[in-house]
Amino acid sequence: MNLLNIKDLNKNFKQENGNQLEVLKDINLKIQDKEFISFIGPSGCGKSTLLNILAGLIPASSGQVMLKNKMIEHPGNDRVMVFQEAALFPWLTVIENVLFGLKIKKIGKEKAYQKALEQLEAVQLKDFKDSYPHQLSGGMKQRVAIARALVLDPEILLMDEPFGALDEQTRLMLHQQLINLWQDTEKTIVFVTHNIREAVKLSDRIIVFGSNPGRIIEEFKITIPQPRDRENPSLIRIENKILNILKKEIGIQGEKTYEKIAT
């Protein structure tokens, strides 16, 4: 079932000199219910801008974004964003951070606490419920941010490079935890990353963007079941195809950059 329908979407930003900067052009995309879809492309190609439009944080300049045939015009509890930085409230404990959104929704105290506790258990942080953010590692903070998002029971989880600032070992651990959560909750996940291998490991489908202006240039469907072996030859072939597309898109000067992010 189509959950999100993006049709003829364009986004321009007005510059200081009065000119319009074309950031996204002619974006047409359908996102399925329960799908894990990743956006990848050069820096500045509009991936995060599109994610913000899906979240209702900024408007499109033209075109439509429909969620279940209803226009997205503002933020809603059916879509929750997880950013690269966990952005936890430092003066609140872990469980208080997770409870924050439920208080805004005016969920009963006992029910909210139980829901928050269940989400912390799902991300394996129940024993740290009374800790403060400064007492947690970067990976633990991101798990709290994911629990805070999932406790609101959104239909769509929007993730903007959530593991980009983490070390490789922590990122690999969180990859599997995210896959487990996705399979358990059956949420739709829209995931922005610069890391080709990350996208290939996690996603049902990868949308490759070009830049100047941002536009969709290729799509890859991945049917290999989870959990996926990083050294699977089929996955490596997909990685190389994406890498070659992006090399051509950004020019030979970008070759070293994309060789790094493919690992």
Write out the H or E segment, with its range, that includes residue 11: strand 2-14
C-alpha to C-alpha distance for 107 and 251, rounded to whole angstroms? 52
Residue 252 has pLDDT above 90, yes or no: no
Report the mean per-residue pLDDT for the chain. Answer: 91
Q: pLDDT of 154-201, one tens digit each?
A: 999 999 999 988 988 898 889 999 999 999 999 999 999 999 999 999
- The fold adopted by the segment(s) 2-78+157-261 is Rossmann fold (3.40.50)
* Residue among 233, 204, 205, 230 at smallest CA distance from 218: 205
The pLDDT assigned to 25 comes to: 96
Would you call 88 helix, strand, or coil by DSSP? coil
Residue 147 near residue 125, CB atoms below 8 Å: yes
Q: What is the mean pLDDT of residues 129-146?
A: 95
Q: What is the mean pLDDT of residues 62-83?
A: 94
Position 210, amino acid = G
131 burial type by CB count under 10 A (0-12 exposed, 13-18 middle, 19+ buried) = middle
Would you mind telling me the total number of residues written for the chain in this entry?
263
The residue to which tokens 């996204």 are assigned: 24
Residue-range domain boundaries for the chain: 2-78+157-261, 88-153
The pLDDT assigned to 260 comes to: 44
Residue 152 near residue 187, CB atoms below 8 Å: no
Phi, then psi, of 208 in degrees rounded to 5: -100, 125
Helices (H), 123-185: 138-150, 168-185
What is the value of pTM for the model shown? 0.91
The pLDDT assigned to 103 comes to: 84
Token pair listed for 35 = 């799908």
C-alpha to C-alpha distance for 200 and 246, rounded to whole angstroms? 14
The pLDDT assigned to 263 comes to: 46
Residue 230: alpha-carbon gap to chain centroid: 20
The residue to which tokens 């950004």 are assigned: 250
Phi-psi domain of 171 (left: phi exceeds 0; alpha: psi -120 through 50; beta: other)? alpha
Q: How confident is the model at residue 261 (pLDDT cuts 50, 70, 90)?
A: very low
Residue 258 has pLDDT above 50, yes or no: no
Residue 10 near residue 60, CB atoms below 8 Å: yes
Q: How confident is the model at residue 18 (pLDDT cuts 50, 70, 90)?
A: confident
C-alpha to C-alpha distance for 121 and 103, rounded to whole angstroms? 20
* Residue among 29, 31, 47, 38 at smallest CA distance from 197: 38
Q: How confident is the model at residue 111 (pLDDT cuts 50, 70, 90)?
A: very high
Token pair listed for 111 = 């029910």
C-alpha to C-alpha distance for 161 and 89, rounded to whole angstroms? 20
Residue 235 has pLDDT above 60, yes or no: yes
pLDDT over 70, % of the chain? 95
Q: How confident is the model at residue 256 (pLDDT cuts 50, 70, 90)?
A: very low
